Structure 1
Amino acid sequence: MKLNPIIADRWSPRAFDADATVDQADLTLLLEAARWAPSHGNTQPARFLVGQRGDDTFRRIFDVLRPGNQTWAGRASALLLGARATTDERGPVPNTEFGLGLAVQNLALQAVDLGLVTHQMGGFDHEAAAREFALPEDVVPVVVVAVGKLGDADLLPEELRARELRERERKPLSEIVFTGTWGTPWSTGERSDHR
């Protein structure tokens, strides 16, 4: 058994090619992938603001990032501010984090298929983002997604370069999947690394 390469090959680099662009067709496809994500009762709570490097929206999203993320995110081709709409015409929407998370995952996997990379960030000033983009009270900013083409890790600051080049790790299934009672590992009978 082998993990689907689109899942296995997805990662969150910080090294973006500052000369690369992502064309409108590819950005549209990424957002279409997000739009088709499952959500609670098909409420589709995911919302996105799109900035492309060089435009005003990109600059404004970049400006609300924490300084550590600003050291590398400006080289991305696009920055997307992902938010969750907490109400609709029927009232409060349940599980909006779930809906936005699935939308962002669809977007990230579609990016892999297109030969692009993404990096999701929670490290930004959420209140400043809400003010900057005049978000309604029922729309909550959650994540910024950098999108682009993989760049040279040697251009990153030393600490980030080391993180970029280290081997990817995941907790074993025995630490995250249980049966019977909490903490009792569920066993697949096989290795958990299907890559």
Structure 2
Amino acid sequence: MTMTDFATRSAETSVPLLPALAERWSPRAFDAAAAVDEDKLRAALEAARWSPSANNSQPWRFIVARRGSEAFDTIVANLAGFNQVWAGSAAALVVAVAETIDAEGKERRWATYDLGQAVAHMTIQAHHDGLHTHQMGGFDAQGLREAFELGEGFIPVSITAIGVLGDADTLPSPLREREVAPRTRRALEDVVVVNA
């Protein structure tokens, strides 16, 4: 597989999709020397800001940390070991935080769903602008809550690595094999349970 093939890896979809959707994938190989383009990072966060939410509650917050900062090192220290192997090479790490309780103390039932939409918008905008992203769930949420002094009801849900695509050969063997393996998904008929 050439580096060009590795970089595009467009999905084989059953119907045509927007290029940013079909071409988006989640690499683990990031260029450890490349800084994040600040305009592109801001655009990704702006896309998240404008995503839909229940009753326009916007129950999302983001901790944005660039490689080389103390905040970045704190996030890496709270990653599960398998994510620590590669995520430190990303140009930035973004902790997605759900505000699960409103100002009156009521539960925001859809907060994590809305946060997920915001992160999806962020990743698509980043990909459109030539960045790559990889979302992670393997981390110590309580460790991040304490480190960043998040208040009650603010729950870290995911972490997104953002950066410039790197060389898959920099990854250890099991991760390198996953990096270049063919992309697969369940068939559309397997995920749509009713289509009346």
The aligned residue for residue 62 of structure 2 is: 48
Task: Encode CA deviations 1:100-151: one digit per residue, 9 max, x unaligned.
Answer: 1000000000011110000000000111111111110110011010000100
Moved more, 144-153 or 86-95: 86-95
Residues 16-62 of structure 1 deviation map (CA, whole Å, 9 limit, x = unaligned): 00111112222111110000111111111111001000011111111
Provide the aligned length of Structure 1 versus Structure 2: 181
Q: 1:87 Cα deviation (Å)?
A: 2.0
- 2:121 matched residue in structure 1: 106
Structure 1: segments with no counterpart, 5+ residues: 180-185, 188-195
Alignment pair present for 1:88 and 2:102: yes
Q: Secondary structure at the match of 2:146?
A: helix
Check conservation: 1:40, 1:94, Cα contact below 8 A: no
Letter aligned with residue 113 of structure 1 = H
Match of 2:156 in 1: 141
1:153 matches 2:178: no
Q: Secondary structure at the match of 2:82?
A: helix
> Is 1:78 aligned to 2:82, yes or no?
no
**1:94 Cα shift?**
2.2
Q: In structure 2, what is the Cα distance between the partners aligned to 1:10 and 1:87? A: 32
Whether 1:3 aligns to 2:17 is yes
CA distance in 2 between counterparts of 1:26 and 1:4 reads 19
**Which runs of structure 2 are paired with 1:57-72 in the superposition (5 Å)?**
57-72=71-86
2:100·2:112 contact (CA, 8 Å) conserved in 1? no
In the TM superposition, residue 6 of structure 1 has moved relative to its aligned partner by 0.6
Q: Look up the equivalent residue of 1:117 and give its one-letter code.
A: H
Determine the C-alpha separation between the residues in 2 that align with 1:13 and 1:25: 21
Superposition RMSD in Å: 1.2
Q: Report the TM-score when normalising by structure 2.
A: 0.89
Instruction: Report the counterpart of residue 178 of structure 1 in structure 2.
Output: 193
Query: Partners in 2 of 1:27 and 1:146 — Cα distance?
Result: 11
Unmatched 5+ stretches in structure 2: 1-14
- Superposition misfits of 4+ residues, deviation over 4 angstroms: none
Amino acid at match of 1:93: R
Tell me the TM-score normalised to structure 1 length.
Answer: 0.90
